Each structure stands twice: as structure tokens, then as C-alpha cells.
Amino acid sequence: RQRASLALRASEARSSKLHQAVEQSPLAVAILDRAGRMEYVNPRFCQLTGYASEALAGQAFTDQLSIETSPERNALLSEAIVTGLPWQGELQSRRQSGERLWQHISLAPIVLDEAVSHFVAMLEDISERKSYEEKLLHQANYDQLTGLPNRLLALDRLAQAVAHAVREDRIGALLFIDLDSFKRINDSFGHPAGDSVLRELVAVVGDTLRSEDIFARCGGEEFAVLLRGHDDDQAFATAE
């Protein structure tokens, strides 16, 4: 009897430590039932999402945390729950405040008596990293002064447009714009004045283009415009 009592106390101590570890975890943790409904969330989960634990209890994990992500990725998470398999991935949802939230999610099955009874899900907030990655991607593909696609992105879009035109048996036109004597403006009035001229040019030209046309800054005072579906007469009319 004494041994059984000691074993029980030891088991209760381990359970208490485990509970406190999950409660105080820097990662958001959720326990799901076999159907993927939330039975428990730790304080970090509530802090991360902005929802109270009472509001989350019984809700489908996929409905709560994948509302902003592509249907294909949502389907992969749902399939993992149905099949009882582990899953890792990045999902975007919204906090209760409406703010977007990127999370890295690790889902693992809990096996009892050789069958999956529950899942444990651990979530890490990666919103800051995602924002940084988006800024880097934007800087790599867009001109910082005008906001137009740069030469690299323009060449990629041009290749796509040509392939589409060939496939659909359509025509188009490619225009190049080069500002004469632009260097004199920078030399005489300074680079801020030159920047203003470039931004004004972009605004004026942009107003004449359609949403499907491509307008890019190739470098310096050189620009390119791809007019999709234009014949020669339409291209000349736009150029004028």
C-alpha cells in the first residue's frame, strides 16, 4: 500500500510538472480531440489569438487558425487530422482584433492503446519574420523610388506575357521610354528634383494604361511598357 501511495504521488507530481510546463510554455499549445476540436488551450494560445479559452473550447482547430490561408494548405491540415498523421506548416489567420497572424504549426497525434485519441498542436508566431521576408521580396522586385517593377521582375513578366500571347494567338506591343537630358535636371536642380520628375512621369503614364499592361523601370531614366492585346495602331495611339 505504501509503494502504491508513493507511486501515485510521483505520478501526480509528474502530471503537475507537465501541466505547469504547458501552462507556462512560450509556445501556444492546444489539445484537440480526435475530430480536431479544441479541448484545451494554454495562456499563450489565448494571448496569441486574442480569444478567451472559453470561446475556443469545442471549436474546430482548422476553422479558427487557417481562415486566411490557401484552401490547398487547409486541406493538408484537415487531412492530417482525419488520417491521424503528424503535420507541420505555416498558416495565416486573424487575431480577434482583426490583425493578421502568421503561425508555424506543429501537429502531433497522441496515441493511447494503439489508437489516436487526441492531437497536440504547438504554434509559434512568425508574423515578424514573414513581414521581413515580404519586405525583402518587394525590395528585390520593385523600384524603391517609383514602386514600379524593376528590370528583373519586368523580364519575368515579359516572358510570361509572351508565352501567354503565343498560347492564345494574341498580339501586343513593347514600348521603351527614355528621358532626354535627364542628367541636366539632376546636375542643375539636384537629385530630389530629378526624383520628382520621375514620379510625375510614372503618374502621367500610369493614368493612360490598363490594369493588364505592364509598366516597369529598367534603370535610371529608362522605362518599359508592355501593352497586352494591342496592335500597331493602338500602340501608337497609346504612345502618343
Residues that are catalytic: 221
Task: Check if the beta carbon of residue 105 is closer than 8 Å to that of residue 27.
Answer: no
Sign of the dihedral defined by the CA atoms of residues 89, 94, 96, 97, in that order: positive
Task: Check if the beta carbon of residue 67 is closer than 8 Å to that of residue 94.
Answer: yes
Q: Residue 44 CB: number of other CB atoms within 10 A?
A: 20
Task: Check if the beta carbon of residue 214 is closer than 8 Å to that of residue 226.
Answer: yes
Q: Residue 225 CB: number of other CB atoms within 10 A?
A: 21
Distance CA 235, CA 227 (A): 7
Long-range contacts of 65-68 (CB under 8 A, 24+ apart): 65/91, 65/93, 65/103, 65/105, 65/123, 66/91, 66/92, 66/93, 67/93, 67/94, 68/92, 68/93, 68/94, 68/100
* Closest to 104 measured CA to CA, from 84, 83, 133, 82: 133
According to DSSP, the residues that pair with 225 across neighbouring strands are: 175, 215
